[in-house]
Structure 1
Amino acid sequence: MKTSKVLTSAANSEPTCAISAIRQSKLLEIALSGDWVLDARLPPLEPVLTQIETKTVEKIIVSTKALGRWDSMLVTELIKLIDYASQKGVAVDKSTLPASIQGLLTLVSAVPERVDAHRDQTRTSWSQALTVSTGKAVQHGKEMLIFVGEMIISTFATLRGQAHFRRQDLWLYIQECGPSALPIVTLISLLVGLILAFVGAVQLSLFGAQIYIANLVSLGMTREMGGLMTAIIMSGRTGAAYAAQIGTMHVNSEIDALKTMNLDPMAFLVLPRMLALIIIMPLLCLYADLMGIIGGGFVTVNFFDVSLTEYLDRTASAVKMKDFIIGFVKCSVFGILIALSGCMRGMQCGRSASAVGDAGTSAVVTAIVFIVVADSVMTVICNRLGI
């Protein structure tokens, strides 16, 4: 019988833990003592593993009579010991361990670790990253074309009476994206009008031309900012809601149920939402223009030497019908893009809870990108046409 050296912690201020191993013929008894907690200094397992390496040990018994406090650190060390003994063909008697430790070891061994659980991080070159990004962009473009094509087919089928379209759903969605959005549209439009008035006044006051603040605010709101800010608000409010609603239906297999009942999901779910947003967006744009002009008038009349009559007169002379029409058309296009982005991302959603959140985020990002690009293109076209 041979007794190995007892390994203990060197720091007396720290919780101590110790291992002692006694080998008798082909039996190895490992005694654990002290407190095996996370703040304790671990004694090395190498001397014990060296005795297992000698091929003369057939069975290991673990004694915990002198064991104090313990936590997951002890279980981790036991797992290392059991795995090494298993590789060497040495049996480990777990019956001497406390029942709680035996339960934890049983849970660990019940489900084996996945082979691909630890993935190595590989660095890719910029050319490979560019190729992957280009491939993803092409794939997204194909998916968008497929969605638009299905939407057009469903629209014609609805017009011919061959698709199930619920008119009451249309009015419900108009209520959700129209009157329900008035408070946030009112606040943002008033603030944008205030900002335009203050920014313009700083420069115009250098020339004593504060009267032209009305021109700046009215033209800026009707041609650009009214429709643009409304579209951004609706993309975050309504576009994300559409993506989350339809994505949740995907998760709950409700869309599969509609297909089973021979109902076209595009006509039943997507078309009412798109029509509601296309109808309500121009009206919200006109309302935002009005609120922005009111906000600019509040600043101009109260902080600068301009009367309310002068402000209204300059606004009426500066804004023409074509300016309202340009903003109206832009906001109509924005409504189509927001509805397209929200519904498309919802229909492309995966079947998990995280996928619903990803669909909402992707819908907002896609809608804002489309809005900015479309606004830039339409502004350039208007400039080239002289309108």
Structure 2
Amino acid sequence: MSSSAQANVNAAGNQLQLGGDWDTTELPDLSSMLEDMLRSESVLSIDVSAVSTWSPRLEAKLLQLQRIALANDRDIEYIGAPESQTQLMNLATAVAPYKGSPETSSGLLSMKHLRQSLAGIGDDLIESLEFLGAIGIALFRALLGRSGMRRRELIESLAQAGPQAIGIITLTSILVGMILAYLGAAQLQQFGAAVFVADLVAIGMLREMGALMTAVVMAGRTGAAYAAQLSTMQSNEEIDAISTLGINPMEFLVAPRVLALILMMPLLVVYADALGILGGAVVAGGMGVTPLQYVSQLGTAITLTHFFVGIFKGFIFAALIATAGCRAGMNAGRNSEAVGRATTEAVVTAVVYLIVADAGINILCQLLGI
């Protein structure tokens, strides 16, 4: 009668010894044993000479061990294995497994993947700073009149970032102002202070919602357009052709787009503020606040501090949106799928940048008492 399946690690910690009948339902956990063996610097081996009965489940477990070892850049030697089993193992491991497969998801590999992810974030941050520095140099050369930026490219970018965005900014700004008014009026009416809804809408639009909502819309509209345009040029090798002609792509393609958005964004923020306040007036009128009361209350709520905080946010948000969109486009691959990935990356990255920057500016204003 064959004994049950057995598995032990030798005293040196570099050999896994298997024996018994492996054609059973309950089998030892070999993965945890291999993880302990991976800490050994010596050559790893698996002794299967004492195995009395082979089964497909044993072969599957050995294949799993082999893939874990390969993922850690280690090799495994088999002792006492039949020639047919050795050939089958070599055939099964001839192609590397998919990185996300269960065979490579051990605890040891998770730490390795975590380190790789952190290293990737660090590299991405360094690359972003380098790209931002290159944009700064290109803009500085443009201000000195030494840039390869074309005036026509700048004018087209201004039109794309400004007048062509008026429609969507108008709709979102009015609705945001109305939403702010509804939220405030519902509470202020309980205290008989519905007139103060003008303060809520004015301060909310000037300091926060006007700049932030405009930036979110522009990230999904203009930032994505920048990424799609540049990534398409990258896939068509147009950027390589520009570089071959001795023209700096950062000055020729990126600088006009970034400069256009920086110039137009504050104007769009002012426009959004005005429409948001107008949308709040519509709701306030329905709450019994007369236009004269609303305008009179606006006179005390609107200050230059609130106004310039929103304008400052507009400048920062514009730079972040343009940087995210142009960087995604310039670093895109050379196929149609890469265009889609670049567009998605531009929008997601820009929105994350906006949220972090908005929180940072608000915290800074709170600390400075602004």
CA distance in 2, matches of 1:124, 1:158: 53
Mark the runs of 5 or more structure 1 residues left unpaired by the alignment: 1-114
**1:164 Cα deviation from its structure 2 partner:** 1.3
2:274 equivalent to 1:271: no
2:158 equivalent to 1:179: no
CA distance in 1, matches of 2:95, 2:295: 70
TM-score, scaled relative to structure 1:
0.68
**1:293 Cα deviation from its structure 2 partner:** 0.4
CA distance in 1, matches of 2:95, 2:232: 30
2:150 equivalent to 1:154: no
Contact persistence 1:189–1:288 (CA under 8 A): yes
Contact persistence 1:163–1:263 (CA under 8 A): no
Which letter maps to 1:123? S
The one of 85, 97, 105 aligned to 1:123: 105
2:124 equivalent to 1:137: no
The one of 345, 349, 353 aligned to 1:362: 345
CA distance in 1, matches of 2:164, 2:218: 11
The one of 183, 186, 190 aligned to 1:202: 186
Q: Which residue number corresponds to residue 67 of structure 2? A: none
Compared CA separation, residues 124 and 259, structure 1 to 2 (3 A): farther
Which letter maps to 2:260? A
Q: Which residue number corresponds to residue 287 of structure 2? A: 304
Compared CA separation, residues 161 and 293, structure 1 to 2 (3 A): closer
Q: Which residue number corresponds to residue 262 of structure 1? A: 246
CA distance in 2, matches of 1:117, 1:355: 25
Deviations 1:262-285 (A, max 9, x none): 010000000000000000000000
CA distance in 2, matches of 1:343, 1:316: 41
Contact persistence 2:139–2:259 (CA under 8 A): no
Compare 265-274 and 316-325 and name the one that shifted more. 316-325
Compared CA separation, residues 217 and 249, structure 1 to 2 (3 A): same
Q: Percent identity?
A: 46
The one of 295, 300, 304 aligned to 1:321: 304
**1:143 Cα deviation from its structure 2 partner:** 1.1
Mark the runs of 5 or more structure 2 residues left unpaired by the alignment: 1-93
Report the 3-state secondary structure (helix = DSSP H, G, I; strand = E; otherwise coil) of the residue aligned with 1:262. coil
2:359 equivalent to 1:376: yes
CA distance in 2, matches of 1:314, 1:297: 11
CA distance in 1, matches of 2:360, 2:366: 10
Q: Which residue number corresponds to residue 323 of structure 2? A: 340
TM-score, scaled relative to structure 2:
0.71
Q: Larger RCO: Structure 1 or Structure 2 (Cα < 8 Å, ≥ 6 residues apart)?
A: 2
Which letter maps to 1:198? Y
The equivalences for 1:38-53 within 5 A come to none
Compare 152-161 and 260-269 and name the one that shifted more. 152-161
Which letter maps to 1:382? C
Report the 3-state secondary structure (helix = DSSP H, G, I; strand = E; otherwise coil) of the residue aligned with 1:140. helix
**1:153 Cα deviation from its structure 2 partner:** 2.8
The one of 313, 323, 334 aligned to 1:351: 334
Structure 1 or 2: more helix by fraction? 2
RMSD: 1.8
